[in-house]
Amino acid sequence: MAAVVAATALKGRGARNARVLRGILSGATANKASQNRTRALQSHSSPECKEEPEPLSPELEYIPRKRGKNPMKAVGLAWYSLYTRTWLGYLFYRQQLRRARNRFPKGHSKTQPRLFNGVKVLPIPVLSDNYSYLIIDTQAGLAVAVDPSDPRAVQASIEKERVNLVAILCTHKHWDHSGGNRDLSRRHRDCRVYGSPQDGIPYLTHPLCHQDVVSVGRLQIRALATPGHTQGHLVYLLDGEPYKGPSCLFSGDLLFLSGCGRTFEGTAETMLSSLDTVLDLGDDTLLWPGHEYAEENLGFAGVVEPENVARERKMQWVQRQRMERKSTVRPGGWEGRGGKPGPHPASTYHCPARACKLFLELWPLTAGV
């Protein structure tokens, strides 16, 4: 019964992975899994958690798998290969794009920009739940686009802001993040396309490695290698020092509010290591994720930590936002550390950071199902 209740609680993406909650495993395997979970909780607890974390509820058992094995099944691997390596994937993306434009002519969510002393971050809702971003040096009139999957929506924002697009930063190769590279780079002849050479990003012109810095006006943006979702996944850290503001992390499909991306090309261990890279950033670092996954992820976190008060407060806020189709990636509305409203810190403050990491033990087991 507990497994059924837990599976019901997993909505959206989580529902497809509900089989991971299969009740209690008996014998030494179950005991070992429980010990592993407890160690994970103790090793990766949030700084906000002053008490020793409790182990995962016995009703939610970890199903062990071979270390280093990609959990995707044969059918999932075949479809993923077609999606990422052939033009069938591009055609599928174009179909998604047409449907999203018809369904959400003004975007799937209402977003708000954030201005920091002459630097503007503008979220752009695209497809059914993606976010692209424009990072603008308002004094120089220069803009950088992050994951511009819908070139029409991004171009409309460029024209509205009256800026010159000089760079595209791609976190990874998936079409819902890179689909606009061709049209935008052709329209803006001086625009450079940055990304990892390991990922096969379309129309890449300037390969980046870990810790490389892209400079545009006063914008200093550092690339951080975070494999797991894809082999060459990068996140981009906008340094706040030049404009005397908070740093901003554009996390692609690595980290969302209380959740993380699927491990299509890596293992849970690899993803956990990549998460550690960004969870060590300063508490004032602001998170700008690649998808609107807050409600689904917090629902999953509620299964893992049903008594977590901070998670419940976040969920209530997120549900109010979504009822009005407001983005959860927006300034104001949620109080972070110190009571100051703003986008969510990259450290996913409070105990849901632990849920985010426990998420890794369960989620990858049925990826591609």
Tell me the sheet residues that pair with 236: 223, 250
Q: Are 364 and 267 in contact (CB under 8 A)?
A: yes
Amino acid at 117: N
Using CA atoms, how far apart are residues 25 and 75, in angstroms rounded to an integer? Answer: 27
Q: How far is CA 65 from CA 62, 254, 293, in A?
A: 9, 22, 26
Whole-angstrom Cα distance, residue 223 to residue 209? Answer: 7
User: What's the 3-state SS for 296-354?
Assistant: HHHHHHHHHCCCCHHHHHHHHHHHHHHHCCECCCCCCCCECHHHCECCCECCCCCCHHH
What CA–CA distance (Å, rounded) separates 53 from 70? 29
Q: Which residues are catalytic?
A: 172, 174, 176-177, 229, 253, 291
Q: Report the distance separating Cα 109 and Cα 277, nearest Å.
A: 29
d(CA 347, CA 97): 32
Contacts of 7 (CB under 8 A, 6+ apart): 15, 18, 19, 21
Secondary structure class of 180 (helix, strand, coil): coil
The CA-atom distances, in angstroms, between 332 and each of 76, 110, 339 are 39, 13, 11
Q: What is the DSSP string of 18-85?
A: GGG---PPPHHHHHHHHHHHHHHHHHT--TT--SPPPPPPTTS------TT-----HHHHHHHHHHHH
